[in-house]
Amino acid sequence: MIRVRARTQRRHGLDKLHLDVLAAMNEALVAADPVRIIRKQLRLNKATLGHMAEEVERLLGKWITRGLVIIPGYLLPKPRGRRIRYRLATHPIPTRKGMNASLAMLRLVENISRDDLVIVLLSGGGSALMPLPVAGINLNDEARVTSLLLKSGANIEEINTVRKHLSQVKGGRLAEQLYPATVLSLIISDVVGDKIDAIASGPTVPDPTTYHDAEQVLKRYDLWSQIPKNARKVITQGLSGSIPETPKRKSKVFRRVHNLIVGNNRASCLAAASAMSKAGYRTQILSIQITGEAREAGRIFGSIARDIRENSLPFAPPAALIAGGETTVTVRGNGKGGRNQELALAAAVRISGSEGVVVGAFSTDGIEGRTDAAGAVADGSTINRGLRLGMDPEEFLRKNNSYHYFSRLKDLVVTGPTGANVNDIAILAADDR
């Protein structure tokens, strides 16, 4: 079990409202802990499986003959197992480490048979950790496409629609490799709405998307002419039918595949809501399907939080709203930050000057973008404190530089890598002081 704790850099002098929000974040992380999830969902009944990798090996022991798990390189110390090996890879941009690990994984199942049971463990980040480009493109091509999509403002489903059609294992193609074995996929969802085909790009799931869908995503974000020509050629070949589509629902490769979601954003939001209720707040989950531009969501959240405090809407303080999902950032500046940090900064502008209001947002995997923070916490004093340090919040938003803004205020939420990913969680809270 990886034990983490949400905290801000400003450890001292936090009032009850801030501490309650951080405590609720902790409970959300506990609910997302893979060890707890697997322990709860997986049972061994004699030789039969009922309804992530260290815990699976602990539970199943000698029933596992061999295994390989690909984990992000920042998840240290690396787990150890007797029968399961661990390989490090990179996230969010794929590199050769991930490709070599993917090849090693496929070598394990080269002689798979109908008598074998394969347990596949999937969680958010799997798309980047398991790169294996189709014939006609190389790893640099795949990495370039991923980088362009991540900066474009495309959501995870759109990004994965493209990645599925450039991969040998995504979009159901791993199921092809595992046929005719029985496959049990235990999935921790990081996709809004738990669309199972989009989680880790659905390696064991029928793919409802097509090469045409992939082309449309790239054109929608003006990337068609920017992606490497080899990637464009592969998609064009798919459009013409000269190379096969990803496997669909009626394909025989899915007849013995069982995909089960065992953890998701809903469970973590419920845990956060329970914590706020126990702390004395009227609490409600606003939504678990929040998407769109992070700064726009932040402005809305800020307005709602202010309404709780000043107008007792939707209910009187002390009150809290929990929101889950995953926003996006269209990168236009050259700053440093992440979607939750940007959301919090936009919310800070809206709640500026309002006492007794906090908006906190964080990523449950503990690492947001290329920063060491999971998110940030904003309150009614955030903007004035920033101005005293010569920081214009709108300028920092224009430059996508929310990390440095909150770093100077010591209001970044820091957890370290959690080993889990069930999307993002925002907490809007107001007290009645």
- How confident is the prediction along the chain (433 residues), in pLDDT tens digits per residue? 344 567 777 765 679 999 999 999 999 999 998 888 877 776 656 544 454 777 777 777 777 888 998 988 877 777 777 788 899 999 889 999 999 999 999 999 999 999 999 999 998 889 999 999 999 999 999 999 999 999 999 999 999 999 999 999 999 999 999 999 999 999 999 888 899 999 999 999 999 999 999 999 999 999 999 999 999 999 999 999 999 999 999 999 999 999 999 889 999 999 999 999 999 999 999 999 999 999 999 999 999 999 999 999 999 999 999 999 999 999 999 999 999 999 999 999 999 999 999 999 999 999 898 899 999 999 999 999 999 999 999 999 999 999 999 999 999 999 988 888 899 999 999 998 7
Write down the residue that tokens 């994965």 correspond to. Answer: 160
Q: Would you state the pLDDT for residue 43?
A: 65
Task: Please enumerate, as own/partner, the contacts of 309-312 that have beta carbons within 8 Å and a separation of 24 or more.
Answer: 309/354, 309/355, 309/356, 309/357, 309/430, 310/354
Q: Is the peptide bond prior to 133 cis by the omega test (within 30 degrees of 0)?
A: no
Residue 408 CB burial class (10 angstroms; 0-12, 13-18, ≥19): middle
Per DSSP, the residues of 214-236 read: HHHHHHHTT-TTTS-HHHHHHHH
Is residue 353 within 8 Å of 371, Cβ to Cβ? no
Is residue 401 within 8 Å of 336, Cβ to Cβ? yes
Residue 214 CB burial class (10 angstroms; 0-12, 13-18, ≥19): buried
Chain Cα centroid distance, residue 102 = 20
362 token code pair? 């964080």
Whole-angstrom distance, CA of residue 321 vs CA of residue 281: 9
Is residue 149 within 8 Å of 213, Cβ to Cβ? no
What are the backbone dihedrals phi and psi of residue 347, each rounded to the nearest 5 degrees, phi first? -65, -35
Q: Would you state the pLDDT for residue 64?
A: 82
Give the H or E element holding residue 367. none
Q: Quote the DSSP letter at residue 155.
A: -
Q: Would you state the pLDDT for residue 4?
A: 55
Write the single-letter amino acid at 261: I
Q: DSSP alpha helices (H): ranges in 183-324?
A: 211-220, 229-240, 265-278, 294-311
What are the backbone dihedrals phi and psi of residue 187, each rounded to the nearest 5 degrees, phi first? -120, 125
Question: Coil, strand or helix: which one is 76?
Answer: coil
Sign, Cα dihedral of 203, 205, 207, 208: negative
Residue-wise pLDDT tens digits, 359-376: 999 999 998 988 999 999
Chain Cα centroid distance, residue 132 = 20
Write down the residue that tokens 């006609």 correspond to. Answer: 136
What are the backbone dihedrals phi and psi of residue 325, each rounded to the nearest 5 degrees, phi first? 145, -155
For residue 68, give the nearest of 123, 97, 108 by alpha carbon.
108
Question: Which distant-in-sequence residues (6+ apart) come within 8 Å of 263 by Cβ?
Answer: 31, 32, 34, 37, 41, 123, 187, 188, 189, 420, 422
Whole-angstrom distance, CA of residue 420 vs CA of residue 190: 9
Write the single-letter amino acid at 233: K
Residue-wise pLDDT tens digits, 100-158: 999 999 999 999 999 999 999 998 889 999 999 999 999 999 999 999 999 999 999 99
